[in-house]
Chain A
């Protein structure tokens, strides 16, 4: 065979590509990625809160009960007595912690319901991928991140203040100061991590959107 003939053989690729996208395999790969991301979202965004809040609820309940019994049994009379405001603060901290957990659990369940089934087509798989990315983005919204940090800090502050009173310090300003520093550090870290995560997630969203657009374009071409 002469070189010119080899050249002609090579050029046949320009009319008929030697590779094609395998929709079924792409769909499986995207599904696997979605599952993996779902587990990572839970590990990074929900598990730490699911671990922290029960601790807060437990300690706040413990302080409430211990403070009540200490006051009722008139132990160590020189220590501060439990007032109605101590009770109210601890009850609010407990109820607020439970409310956050319930809200987050509902939010996660609602999202999981739309995600756990294997999508019947590549288009739907891509749409589910985009919806997962949107859910992840909603978790990184600045008001949500700040609200969560603020609520956990207030809860921890109340418990620290009340534990101080339970142990005989009528005012635990030092503990509140530490808590405030912790809040500032958490806010700084939380916002920095949020910005990085948003950039990473947006890259994935753009990739999925490109694939969806290419798929739609392909469908339009076929219809023509």
Chain B
């Protein structure tokens, strides 16, 4: 598969992008905060996914593969951005953005993303994977950590999210 033709690689990538675009958007929203950053990260992830096509051997589901590549790209991008910007992401969204939040976006989803963004990079990945229904084993293999550590982390994240949502509801009332 390494000798895959560029056209074939592009064709597979197009198919993946068509079917799993939502997954990429989720990762982008969890790791980049402003429209220009989201666009930049989307392009970075798309590039990495395209490059990864010849290495995909069908040993895992396509979703798992794409998630793994996308999360690695997002974590690397975040670290790089942090180095360049001293820990802060740009706040001035002056550039025209190709990606835009859908007009019908749910404020509860927005709230969830805000909570995810407040976590560190690994916890963000774990939260995304947990919410998208991956098993502890899959998460551990994707992120290179032990299953028991995943279990501990997930329990903490769940408790944190639940308590924050309750707090939010109390303030809303």
Report A's interface with B, CB cutoff 8 A.
1-3, 5-7, 9-10, 12-14, 16-22, 25-26, 28-29, 202-203, 206, 210, 213-214
Would you call B98 and A18 a contact (CB within 8 A)? Answer: no
Which residues of A lie under 8 Å from residue B97 when comparing CB positions?
A: 22, 25
| B161 to A, closest residue via Cβ | A6
Report B's interface with A, CB cutoff 8 A.
6-7, 10, 14, 17-18, 21-22, 25-26, 28-29, 96-102, 104-106, 108-109, 112, 131, 158, 161-162, 165-166, 168-169
Q: Which of A5, A16, A17, A18 has the most CB of B within 10 A?
A: A18
Would you call B99 and A22 a contact (CB within 8 A)? Answer: yes
Which residues of B lie under 8 Å from residue A9 when comparing CB positions?
A: 106, 108-109, 112
Would you call A20 and B100 a contact (CB within 8 A)? Answer: yes
- Contact residues of A: prevailing secondary structure: helix
Would you call B10 and A210 a contact (CB within 8 A)? Answer: yes
Shortest Cβ distance from A42 into chain B, in angstroms?
A: 25
Would you call A25 and B25 a contact (CB within 8 A)? Answer: no
A117 to B169, CA, bound (A): 53
Q: Which of A1, A26, A214 has the most CB of B within 10 A?
A: A1
Which residues of A lie under 8 Å from residue B102 when comparing CB positions?
A: 16-20
Would you call A10 and B112 a contact (CB within 8 A)? Answer: yes
| B111 to A, closest residue via Cβ | A9
A210 to B15, CA, bound (A): 10
| A10 to B, closest residue via Cβ | B131
A2 to B161, CA, bound (A): 9
| A217 to B, closest residue via Cβ | B18
Q: Which of A19, A26, A206 contacts B7 (CB 8 A)?
A: A206
| B105 to A, closest residue via Cβ | A18
